[in-house]
């Protein structure tokens, strides 16, 4: 009964705390910085030199062995500049801020959540040791005041993990605030961080604005990616060391929540893997059967599905679409995670694109398949020498593969060749530093087909069968619509022939021209599967009716049998078992 | 009022109250002698029995059987912990259904009692019940057929061998290594007497820590992208790949392998794997292309130091005794 008591006790305390919270007006307060806890430094030092030193360096200068190969670079502690805080701009953080950062990690960077590995007292110890690495100021200095702001509370009372149900008016009002405060100058017109290509942090390293449509990469998301509080905190406190200022004087607390509602509404709701802090990969790209021809423009309703998982948001087709196509024939927009190619040659440790979204349809009438590949890239190349590229990779000789066998996932291998469809493009009249252009940019597109028999044996094919029927670069998002006939002449037996109703391995590659990526210096995915889904055969409807009727017949037989037995009892032909009724 | 209907109300209400109010209280984070899910279940069953006795309810046999069956379903679905896979659930429910049937057919009277409402429904003495059941069931069967026939496509399952048998020898940087008996040249302390030493801090003091530091440096410049800053296989690129990178903290990986096995895997990477380990989708690079032999051995030394595991070693006695 002990634990039951405990339960009620906690409940009582919670009620009391709530009552106090209602009675006292929320105020912000200033206090001296949290002094260093001297007694845990020895323990903290040991943890630091086992776990942290590799990135943050021996003296905390953010210059450990790993630092040069990371983007974003590890934090330099020396100046006491910490990004994620509840204190004012330029001030030292609370100890609690640092503890939360170490516990939850910084998603989208190499900083992992240490709460899984270290105990609470170990985290406190290492945080206190890190405080001693700050040289330019001191946590023990009584002049170092920290001012904790009042962030208000979530006005809509939404809950995690997805924080759905924020009213549309609040989101719309947030958009007004977004425009009024010119957030688009850095974050871009649709929040993909594509506003300003020239930003630097306090140490002169290049830095980019957050992509609001990938909120799982928000550094301060504290593993609660869709919580608007994270955004309110950042707007209120700014990010020390970066060009992100605070807006606490320009925007009222109520308005900050509305702005946060807008920012959060942009981020697609997907099932997030709690270990990786990224959306779960959609390992099967179903190509939806389409009656008649497939639309050849990206803006067609046939291709305009949301990124969010409809199961989470309850998204439905528009009525016009439902009328024309019915509701079952919507392809899923698949999330494909990408990594840098670090196996061979010039390796890519910091790819600028870490995911693609792929949607597919196929048409029996056209005997062709379409893949719409989309990805966020803040800035495209302006240099014809370094064109942006994205590619789909297939086993070239699908029919010869046995079981799970596939070619090597990057450029194939000597025995098993791959066939690559590559779109290589430059945006027309594009300047990365120009103001956001809502209608987007047309792309100067070149389609190539390649064959790979390993890294050193990649050749460009002469004849190109694959087409890119539509493409666009809109507000930091590239959209490329590939089309190819299912079968080709295939004279040299090195072109993939796409069968129906069969699982086909497929992989993706992407090169950012602005980052000077070319050849093996690229972003890659692993093998995925795609399948050309058949149309739903009408026979399943007949079969359902036939089974239903057959069962009804069986029921009739049962009634007839039971009645007959009854009658036989009544007429005395059969003797009922002699038990008292 | 009909005793069976009253019993139904009592049963549903009891389960509803217990499941929504008492169940969360009885499943705290730290389960105790009384505060656990099984005692909650027992209390619930006793509550149902007690209410029936107190209210002098004697529902029809068919309903009693349904109650018994439903309590079993509830137990396997929500109480039994950890949750069981659905195949096992079906097996358990089959056994439970047989048990319920035994309860029904314990003697001919109870069996007839159980049968009575069913027969009455079939012959039409319960008109409404007959109408509802006989119209609904064919539709359900039709819908079930539709559901079963509707094609659903799921990613095919691929099996792979995680730790394949290593080759007898491997050639790295022009030198052939016999994996059997091969040890890490930088493991100068077999007794693991370095737990209180730290990279960079003590690197100059002990030779061993110098090697660990160098190995860690290589690890954090090359390996942590996949195997993670915590060596738990959750690096920045890890979620991209299928199979996911190895978790060295897990006792099933480096803790049960020899250092020579790791040397072979590090040197040859994914492309060096045999077919049963699906080399085509392993993202592990053949590190002999980027690292020299010493660096590879030092990385291996670092991995054991960081995770605290000790590599599986050769039994010197049997090895010198000429094999098995």
| Residues A253 and A319 both lie in one domain | no
Contacts of B280 in chain A (CB under 8 A): 405-409, 413, 416, 527
| Residues A208 and A303 both lie in one domain | no
Domains annotated on chain B, with CATH: 3-106 (no CATH), 169-307 (1.10.760.10)
Map tokens 């006793």 to a residue: B46
| Residues A448 and A311 both lie in one domain | yes
- C-beta of residue A497 within 8 angstroms of C-beta of residue A488: yes
Q: What pLDDT is attached to residue A413?
A: 93
Top mean-pLDDT range of A244-248, B177-181, B319-323: A244-248
From the list B149, B234, B283, which residue is nearest A540 (CB)? Answer: B149
| Residues A262 and A287 both lie in one domain | no
Q: Is residue A343 part of a domain?
A: yes
A-B CB pairs within 8 A amount to 185
Domain boundary among A239, A267, A295: A267
The two structure tokens encoding residue A511:
């090169």
Please state whether A459 falls in left (phi above 0), alpha (psi between -120 and 50) or beta.
beta
B261 burial level (CB within 10 Å; 0-12, 13-18, 19+) = buried
Quickly count: other Cβ atoms within 10 Å of residue A346's Cβ: 12
Q: Is residue A29 part of a domain?
A: no
| Rounded percentage of chain B residues whose pLDDT exceeds 90 | 65
- Taking an 8 Å cut-off on Cβ atoms, the answer to whether B141 and A548 are in contact is yes
B29 min Cα distance to partner chain A (Å): 10
Q: Cis before residue A211, ω within 30 degrees of 0? A: no
Report, in angstroms and rounded to the nearest whole number, the Rg of chain A calculated over CA atoms: 30
pLDDT in tens, chain A (581 residues): 444 454 555 555 555 555 544 444 445 677 888 999 999 999 999 999 999 999 999 999 999 999 999 988 999 999 999 999 999 999 999 999 999 999 999 999 999 999 989 999 999 999 999 999 999 999 998 888 898 888 999 999 998 899 999 999 999 999 999 999 999 999 999 999 999 999 999 999 999 999 999 999 999 999 899 999 999 999 999 999 999 999 999 999 999 999 999 999 999 999 999 888 999 999 999 999 988 899 999 998 889 888 999 889 988 887 777 777 665 578 899 999 999 999 999 999 999 999 999 999 999 999 999 999 999 999 999 999 999 999 999 999 999 998 889 999 999 999 999 999 999 999 999 999 899 999 999 999 999 999 999 999 999 999 899 999 999 999 999 999 999 999 999 999 999 999 999 999 999 999 999 999 999 999 999 999 999 999 888 888 999 999 999 999 999 999 999 999 888 888 888 777 665 54
Domain boundary among A214, A245, A267: A267
Q: What pLDDT is attached to residue B322?
A: 43
Total count of domains within chain A: 3
A69 vs A342: CA distance, rounded Å? 11
| Residues A318 and A255 both lie in one domain | no
Residue A450 host element (H or E) = strand A443-452
Residue B141 near chain A (CB below 8 Å): yes
A173: phi then psi, degrees, rounded to nearest 5: -60, -40
B40 min Cα distance to partner chain A (Å): 13
Q: Is residue A348 part of a domain?
A: yes
Q: Is residue A151 part of a domain?
A: no
Q: What is the mean pLDDT of chain B?
A: 90
Residue B152 near chain A (CB below 8 Å): no
Residue B323 near chain A (CB below 8 Å): no
- Taking an 8 Å cut-off on Cβ atoms, the answer to whether B239 and A112 are in contact is no
CATH number reported for the structural domain that contains residue A237 in this entry:
1.10.760.10
pLDDT tens profile B254-293: 999 999 999 999 999 999 999 889 999 899 999 999 999 9
Quickly count: other Cβ atoms within 10 Å of residue A95's Cβ: 18
Q: Nearest CA to A392 among A500, A532, A509, A477?
A: A509
Map tokens 């409402």 to a residue: B117
Q: Is residue A155 part of a domain?
A: no
- Taking an 8 Å cut-off on Cβ atoms, the answer to whether B220 and A275 are in contact is no
- Taking an 8 Å cut-off on Cβ atoms, the answer to whether A413 and B280 are in contact is yes
CATH number reported for the structural domain that contains residue A327 in this entry:
2.60.40.1190
A466 vs A74: CA distance, rounded Å? 43
Q: Nearest CA to A271 among A303, A328, A313, A222?
A: A313
A170 vs A373: CA distance, rounded Å? 32
Q: Is residue A9 part of a domain?
A: no
Q: Is residue A5 part of a domain?
A: no
The domain containing residue A318 runs over which residues? 278-532
pLDDT tens profile B102-145: 999 988 888 988 988 888 899 888 899 999 999 999 999 999 99
Q: What pLDDT is attached to residue B100?
A: 95
Domain boundary among A106, A133, A160: A133
Q: What pLDDT is attached to residue A326?
A: 64
Q: What pLDDT is attached to residue A579?
A: 58
From the list B200, B240, B278, which residue is nearest A49 (CB)? Answer: B200
- C-beta of residue A334 within 8 angstroms of C-beta of residue A310: no
| Residues A346 and A474 both lie in one domain | yes
From the list B200, B228, B286, which residue is nearest A53 (CB)? Answer: B200
| Residues A297 and A202 both lie in one domain | no
Q: Is the confidence at residue B175, as pLDDT, over 50?
A: yes
- Indicate if the alpha-carbon torsion angle B126, B129, B133, B135 is positive or negative: positive
| Residues A365 and A409 both lie in one domain | yes
| Residues A467 and A487 both lie in one domain | yes
Contacts of B242 in chain A (CB under 8 A): 281, 283, 526-527
Residues 185-204 of B with CB under 8 A from A: 196, 198-201
| Residues A337 and A260 both lie in one domain | no
Q: Is residue A182 part of a domain?
A: yes
A525 vs A528: CA distance, rounded Å? 8
| Residues A263 and A282 both lie in one domain | no
Residue B107 near chain A (CB below 8 Å): no
A546 min Cα distance to partner chain B (Å): 8
A186 min Cα distance to partner chain B (Å): 25
Beta strand extents in A235-383 (DSSP E only): 272-273, 278-279, 284-290, 334-337, 339-340, 355-363, 368-376
Contacts of A51 in chain B (CB under 8 A): 229-230
- Taking an 8 Å cut-off on Cβ atoms, the answer to whether B158 and A45 are in contact is no
B190 burial level (CB within 10 Å; 0-12, 13-18, 19+) = exposed
| Residues A350 and A483 both lie in one domain | yes
Interface predicted TM-score (ipTM) of this complex, two decimals: 0.88
Q: What pLDDT is attached to residue B321?
A: 44
Contacts of A111 in chain B (CB under 8 A): 229
């Amino acid at each position: 009964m002990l634990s039951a008591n405990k339960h009620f006790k906690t409940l009582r305390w919670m009620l009391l705390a709530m009552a106090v919270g209602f009675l006292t007006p929320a105020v912000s307060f200033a206090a001296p910085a949290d002094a260093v806890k001297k007694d845990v430094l020895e323990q903290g030092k040991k943890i630091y030199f086992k776990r942290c030193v590799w990135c943050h360096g021996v003296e905390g200068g953010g210059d450990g062995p790993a630092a040069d190969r990371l983007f974003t670079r590890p934090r330099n502690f020396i100046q006491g500049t910490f990004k994620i805080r509840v204190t004012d701009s330029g001030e030292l953080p609370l100890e609690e801020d640092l503890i939360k950062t170490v516990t939850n990690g910084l998603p989208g960077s190499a900083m992992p959540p240490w709460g899984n590995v270290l105990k609470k007292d170990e985290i406190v110890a290492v945080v206190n040791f890190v405080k001693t690495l700050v040289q330019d100021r001191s946590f023990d200095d009584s002049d170092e005041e920290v001012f904790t702001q009042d962030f208000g509370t979530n006005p809509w009372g939404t809950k995690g993990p997805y924080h759905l149900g924020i009213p549309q008016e609040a989101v719309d009002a947030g958009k007004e605030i977004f425009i009024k405060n010119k957030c688009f100058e850095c974050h871009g017109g649709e929040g993909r961080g594509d506003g300003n290509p020239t930003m630097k942090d306090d140490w002169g390293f290049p830095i980019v604005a957050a992509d609001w449509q990938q909120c799982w990469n928000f550094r301060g998301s504290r593993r609660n990616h869709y919580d608007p509080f994270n955004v309110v905190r950042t707007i209120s406190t700014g990010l020390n060391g970066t060009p992100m200022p605070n807006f606490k004087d320009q925007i009222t607390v109520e308005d900050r929540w509305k702005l946060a509602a807008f920012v959060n509404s942009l981020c697609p709701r997907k099932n997030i893997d709690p270990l990786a802090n990224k959306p779960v990969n959609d390992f099967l790209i179903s190509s939806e059967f389409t009656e008649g021809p497939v639309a050849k423009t990206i803006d067609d309703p046939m291709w305009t599905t949301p990124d969010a998982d409809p199961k989470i948001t309850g998204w439905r087709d528009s009525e016009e679409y439902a009328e024309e196509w019915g509701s079952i024939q919507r392809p899923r927009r698949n999330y494909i995670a990408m990594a840098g190619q670090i196996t061979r040659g010039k390796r890519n440790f910091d790819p600028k694109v870490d995911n693609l979204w792929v949607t597919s349809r196929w048409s029996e009438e056209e005997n062709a398949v379409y893949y719409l590949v989309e990805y966020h890239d803040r800035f495209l190349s302006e240099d014809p020498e370094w064109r942006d590229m994205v590619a789909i990779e297939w086993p070239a000789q699908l029919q010869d593969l046995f079981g799970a066998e596939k070619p090597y996932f990057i450029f194939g291998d000597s025995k098993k060749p791959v066939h690559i469809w590559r779109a290589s493009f430059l945006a027309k009249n594009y300047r990365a530093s120009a103001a956001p252009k809502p209608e987007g940019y047309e792309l100067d597109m070149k389609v190539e087909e390649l064959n790979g028999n390993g890294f050193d044996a990649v050749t460009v094919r002469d004849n190109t069968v694959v087409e890119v029927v539509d493409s666009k670069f809109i507000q930091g998002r590239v959209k490329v619509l590939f089309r190819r006939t299912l079968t080709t002449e295939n004279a040299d037996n090195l072109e993939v022939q796409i069968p129906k109703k069969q699982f086909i391995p497929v992989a993706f590659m992407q090169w950012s021209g602005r980052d000077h990526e070319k050849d093996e210096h690229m972003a890659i995915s692993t093998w995925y599967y795609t399948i050309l889904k058949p149309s739903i055969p009408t026979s399943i409807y007949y079969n359902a009716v036939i089974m239903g009727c057959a069962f009804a017949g069986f029921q009739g037989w049962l009634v007839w049998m039971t009645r007959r037995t009854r009658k036989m009892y009544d007429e005395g032909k059969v003797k009922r078992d002699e038990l008292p009724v | 009022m009909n005793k069976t209907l009253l019993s139904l109300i009592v049963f549903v209400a009891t389960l509803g109250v217990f499941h929504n109010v008492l169940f969360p209280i009885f499943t705290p984070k730290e389960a105790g002698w009384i505060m656990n899910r099984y005692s909650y279940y027992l209390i619930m069953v006793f509550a149902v029995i007690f209410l029936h006795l107190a209210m002098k309810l004697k529902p029809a046999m068919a309903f009693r059987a349904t109650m018994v069956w439903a309590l079993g379903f509830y137990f396997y679905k929500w109480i039994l912990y950890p949750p069981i896979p659905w195949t096992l659930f079906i097996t358990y429910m089959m056994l439970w259904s047989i048990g319920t049937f035994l309860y029904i057919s314990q003697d001919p009277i109870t069996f007839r009692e159980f049968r009575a409402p069913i027969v009455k429904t079939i012959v039409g003495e319960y008109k409404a019940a007959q109408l509802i059941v006989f119209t609904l069931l064919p539709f359900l069967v039709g819908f079930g057929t539709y559901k079963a026939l509707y094609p659903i496509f799921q990613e095919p399952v691929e099996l792979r061998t995680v730790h394949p048998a290593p080759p007898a020898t491997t050639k790295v940087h022009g030198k052939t290594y016999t994996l059997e008996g091969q040890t890490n040249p930088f493991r100068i302390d077999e007794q693991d007497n370095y737990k209180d030493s730290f990279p960079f801090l003590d690197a100059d003091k002990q030779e061993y820590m110098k090697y660990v530091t160098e190995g860690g440096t290589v690890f954090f410049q090359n390996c942590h992208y996949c195997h993670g800053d915590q060596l738990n296989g959750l690096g920045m690129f890890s979620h991209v790949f299928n199979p996911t990178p190895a978790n060295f903290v897990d006792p099933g990986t480096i803790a049960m392998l020899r250092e020579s096995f790791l040397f072979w895997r590090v040197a040859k990477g994914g492309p060096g794997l045999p077919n049963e380990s699906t080399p085509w989708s392993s993202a592990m690079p053949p590190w002999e292309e980027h690292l020299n032999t010493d660096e590879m051995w030092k990385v291996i030394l670092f991995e054991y130091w960081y995770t605290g595991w000790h590599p599986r070693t050769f039994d010197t006695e049997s090895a010198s005794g000429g094999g098995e």
